[in-house]
Amino acid sequence: MRKIPTLLLGLLIAIPPCTADQLPDLGESSRQYLTDKQEKEIAHDIMRDIYSSPNFLRDTEIETYLNNLGSRLASESTARTRTLTFFALQDPSINAFALPGGFIGVHTGLIQSAENESELAGVLAHEIAHISQEHLSRMIAQQDRSYLPTLAALAIAVLAARSNANIGSAAIATAQAVSIQSQLNFTREHEREADRIGLDILTNAGFDPRGLSTFFNRLQRANRLYDNNAPEYLRTHPLSSQRVADIDGRLENAPYKQIRDSNEFHFVRARLAAMEDTPEDAIKRFQDQITQKKTPLEAASRYGLALALARKNKYADAEKELMIAIKSAESPMLLNLQAELRTKAGNPSQGISLYQSALSRYPQYKPLIYGYGLSLILSGQPQQARAFLSSQTILWPDDSRLWKMLARAHAALGHKLASHRAEAEAMASEGNLPAALEQINLGLKAGDGDFYELSAAEARRREWQETLSSEANKK
């Protein structure tokens, strides 16, 4: 993103309020394109692929941020009845993409290149609109009927191509996959509709609708400068001058709103920056930001500095920076890092009490839940870990991380069936039913477990077997 010139937007003009033109919304009636069952099957295959992708960013803070931002936007759209899953891919190129099954992938390059939160929210809102308007399902359904049995293969080809356009095109170099990929690029009509609905979502969710416009203008300018190296985003979302003009036209009458970015937007960007380069370079960068006062949020630079210092095992120095940040800004991300640093510095019991007090303030914050569960296991308290994690899996039954931790807690307690069962649930929630069945069979053979546990495991096994055989019958 450093290549792309900064667009200075200094137009503070008072503009009269707008009346949004209401075009018919295509979202509700279009579930006919793919059945729920077909879409679920595709989603399973895609999830498996996403989780095994080397670019998949296993960072619960960034994932949580994207999902919170995404659900705030989705609640303003007709996609609100669907489960949307946002995930990050470690990739410096500027891209975001929607997949069948409600998955939205975001490249770290996009998060880093957004100049404010409304820009990032604008791109996510546009992708949510592609989903709420069923653009992907419509494109897939338009394909020849004989393609339908291979929908899963198709979706994976699209994922490979989208998540890494350079390697992807080589990896899926079959003529069919390439031609499908090109047919699955959004049409101009789809783009225009996603822009229009995306702008409404953005406005209703309380962001600055100009975020979409400033971001697209910058992309378009970059595209002109770097002809052969267009940002990835433009390959799947063709951006014409007409489109940009349409967006700007819609914004003409929108009232100017100064929107403050969330603290987490800055913390997430600092977190990504702290992971890049060598720790030494990152430390220097954040120290320079702080001393030269060149930071949009000083607490974020302190947070990044603490993370980079922790990479060098300088936990005491890291906590000193973090405490300065905690005094000036409030966020569960800061409290989570404090508990983590104390644990890594060799004080697990202090870490545990920090997790407990942070969870009493932010009981729903996933990274704290994971951190607390893991530190109970690592500090030799499997009984407490089991109690805490099983209550959490009731609240979040599709969370494979929680199930995997619960499996560890049960294993530490010598519960064989319960451990395999939790492992099986983890596999199932990642869409891998064959692996789930393998685990549950191991559990049922283990010879422990009471009547209730055994019959629950058997019921689950039947359920998965039925799903798998109905999928197999269709192929």
Binding residues vs Zn ion (CB under 5 A)? 186, 191, 194, 237
Q: How far is the CB of 190 from Zn ion (least distance, A)?
A: 7
* Residue closer to Zn ion (CB basis): 233 or 370: 233
Using DSSP, how many helices (H) and how many strands (E) does the chain show? 24, 3
Tell me how far apart the terminal alpha carbons of the chain are, to the nearest angstrom.
44
Tokens of 232: 């990835």
Comparison of 148 and 244: residue with beta carbon closer to Zn ion: 244
Distance of alpha carbon 443 from alpha carbon 412, whole angstroms: 15
CB of 251 to Zn ion, least distance (A): 18
The DSSP letter of residue 87 is E
Residue placing its CB nearer to Zn ion in the complex, 37 or 188: 188
Rounded to a whole number of angstroms, the minimum distance from the CB of residue 70 to Zn ion is: 16
Number of Cβ atoms within 10 Å of the Cβ of 179: 10
Spatial contact of 34 and 64, defined as CB atoms under 8 Å apart: no
Minimum distance of Zn ion from residue 223's CB (angstroms): 15
Q: Is 98 helix (H, G, I), strand (E, B) or coil?
A: strand
Residue 240 or 470: the one with the smaller Cβ distance to Zn ion is 240
Tokens of 427: 């596999």
On whether the CB atoms of residues 7 and 214 are closer than 8 A, the answer is yes
Match 């890092």 to its residue by tokens: 337
Q: Which is nearer to Zn ion, 186 or 303 (CB)?
A: 186
Task: Kindly state the smallest distance separating residue 231's Cβ from Zn ion, in Å.
Answer: 13
Of 237 and 366, which CB lies nearer to Zn ion in the complex structure? Answer: 237
Smallest distance, Å, CB 68 to Zn ion?
A: 22
**CA–CA dist 322, 337 (Å, integer):** 8
Least distance in angstroms from the C-beta of 219 to Zn ion: 12
SS3 (DSSP) at 231? coil
Residue 304's contacts (CB-CB under 8 Å, 6 or more residues apart) are 270, 271, 273, 274, 282, 285, 286
* Cβ distance to Zn ion smaller for residue 82 or 192: 192
How many Å separate Cα 248 from the centre of its chain? 28
In the bound complex, which residue of the shown chain has the CB atom lying closest to Zn ion?
A: 237
